[in-house]
Amino acid sequence: MIQIFNTLTKKKELFRPIDESHITIYVCGPTVYDFAHIGNARSVVVYDILFRLLKLCYNKVTYIRNITDIDDKIIQAAENNEKGIKDITDHYTKAFHDDIKSLQCLEPTYEPKATENIKHIIKLIEHLISSGHAYHANNHIYFSIESYCEYGMLSGKKVDELTHGSRVEIDKNKKHPGDFVLWKPADDIDYKLLSYWQSPWGEGRPGWHIECSAMSYSCLGQNFDIHGGGIDLQFPHHENEIAQNKSAFPGSIFARYWVHNGFLTINKEKMSKSLLNIVSIRDLLSSGIKGEVIRYALLKTHYRKPLDWTEDIISESQENLNKFYKVLNGIDVASVDLIGNYNVSIPKDFIDALKNDLNVPEALAVLHEMVAAINKASYMDQKLKLIKAFVKSAQLIGLMQSNYEKWFAVDRNYQEIEKLINMRRAARLNKDYMTADAIREKLKQMGISISDNKNGTITW
Ligand code: AMP
Ligand code: ZN
């Protein structure tokens, strides 16, 4: 049985699906106005692992990850770049897909876009107005948080506390400072950029929270198993989604389990565009770091803990994966696949770690134990069997997608590279930095980047 930490109950719970024959999950996806950063990547990789585990345990899993393609920041980006909204969103949606593909993430079952769901959004707002949960004021439609008696169930915030001094913006049109916008009227920029739609309340566009409510409802219905996203979305975004859906569909459970990944930080501060401390996936990839290395680095820390991004994490992950790929030296992976006689299964410890609230660091430790066993194995037969189980396990979490030759670029002569690295190390020890630099340059020309850390020199 899978156990997962549920933010709603603040407890690790046994995962009991609504319908064992069809598991349903909705995750808040990116707002596409710039390249995705490594914090966004963390969220995508975490839910990719959950998706893979659910697929292993159940026959049918529907995984919805939306694209937020209308938003103030998108409009701002279109204005700044003198582009249309769709030019911006198409460009960054494609970039997002390319980047996360490099991180070996599987595609979700369906990826709805907010702008393709305006009809559903309007219908949901109409329903909230007619049931007394939303109201019209100054050409805006607001959700009334006082109309929903369980408001605060996810974040623990109290309606009375959402007043002065809180981060909720003060707006004199609202009945309560915590009320939030469901629909806002078009302004001059919206008319210029055509970022508005017709509605019963005039031309305008939806608020962010109602978009996800409408998309999860249109794709998965009133009730589904898991809702995920980064911990920054717990309040107000997810709290507001709950208020909207449970008000619109009284008696529904909406999402049974709420899962939140921790922040990826830099110098212990959340990585975010507004703090100007972002590292994009694209920058890392174009500096020559392999997608699988980035994935490994994101998986080294348990998904609920903060992960502070450092250069060391990358070099350690590169070293760890080098160690993994070295076991394939001289092994034809295709022939490993052909050893059909071996009934090789993924070790129970490995699966159990994943089932225990996605304990990937523990699953990685099992992979390291498997590598140690492979390196100790004296008979080829035994070795191949262990390798097969190792590759199968690693591939379950999206690792070991390459082979020895490609990983070490053996066509560029791995032995030669090792020899040069050893010569450079010796030169550095002798303080012969000219020779060391010349060797670095030679390696660079061979397409090999190197860096030094406390454990020695690593290549990528
Ligand atoms: P956004 O594009 O900002 O709407 O975010 C897309 C997803 O990435 C959401 O699930 C966010 O919670 C998540 N996210 C954004 N920044 C970080 C970060 N620094 N660490 C972890 N997750 C993040
Ligand atoms: Zn959302």
Is position 273 annotated in a ligand binding site? yes
CATH class of the domain at 266-408:
mainly alpha
The pair phi, psi for residue 400, each rounded to 5°, is 55, 50
Whole-angstrom Cα distance, residue 179 to residue 181? 7
Residue 172's pLDDT is 81
Is the distance from the beta carbon of residue 230 to the nearest atom of ligand 1 less than 6 Å? Answer: yes
Ligand 1 proximity of 228 Cβ (cutoff 6 Å): no
The reported pTM is: 0.88
Check residue 460 and give its pLDDT. 57
Q: Whose CA is nearest to atom 17 of ligand 1?
A: 39
Considering every ligand atom shown, identify the ligand nearest to the alpha carbon of residue 47 and give its number: 1
40 lines ligand 1 (CB under 6 A): yes
Residue 189 sits at φ, ψ, to 5 deg, of -65, -40
Q: From the CA of 356, how far away is ligand 2's center (Å)?
A: 26
Q: 111-133: per-residue pLDDT in tens?
A: 999 999 999 999 999 999 999 99
Q: How far is the CA of 30 from the centre of ligand 1 (A)?
A: 7
Q: Hey, whose CA ends up nearest to atom 14 of ligand 1?
A: 40
Query: At 211, which amino acid appears?
Result: E
Q: How far is the CA of 237 from the centre of ligand 2 (A)?
A: 7
- pLDDT, mean over the chain: 92
Task: Identify the CA nearest to 246 among candidates 208, 216, 205.
Answer: 216
pLDDT given at position 339: 54
pLDDT tens-digit map of 162-187 = 875 455 556 788 999 999 999 999 99
Give me ligand 1 centre to Cα 449, in Å: 30
219 assigned binding-site residue: no
Is 316 annotated among the ligand-binding residues?
Answer: no
User: Does an H or E element contain 259, and which?
Assistant: strand 255-261
Q: Domain boundaries in the chain?
A: 16-261, 266-408, 414-459
CB 308 less than 6 A from any atom of ligand 1: no
User: Which tokens hold the place of 340?
Assistant: 């059909």
Stretches where the chain sits below pLDDT 70 are: 164-170, 332-343, 410-415, 447, 453-460
Q: What is the pLDDT of residue 165?
A: 46
pLDDT at residue 103, rounded to an integer: 98
pLDDT in the model for residue 150: 95
Ligand 1 atom closest to Cα of 29? Answer: 6
Q: Is 66 in the pocket of ligand 1 (CB under 6 A)?
A: no
Does the annotation place 241 within a ligand binding site?
yes
Report how far Cα 393 is from the mean position of its chain's Cα atoms: 21
Ligand 1 atom 8: the closest Cα is on which residue? 40
| Run of H or E residues at 342 | none
Q: Taking the C-alpha atoms of 235, 241, 14 and 302 in order, what is their torsion angle to the nearest 10 degrees? A: -40
Please, are residues 114 and 206 in contact by the beta-carbon 8 Å criterion?
A: yes
- CATH architecture of the domain with residue range 16-261: 3-Layer(aba) Sandwich (3.40)
Ligand nearest to the CA of 260: 1
Q: Is the dihedral of CA 373, 377, 383, 385 positive or negative?
A: negative
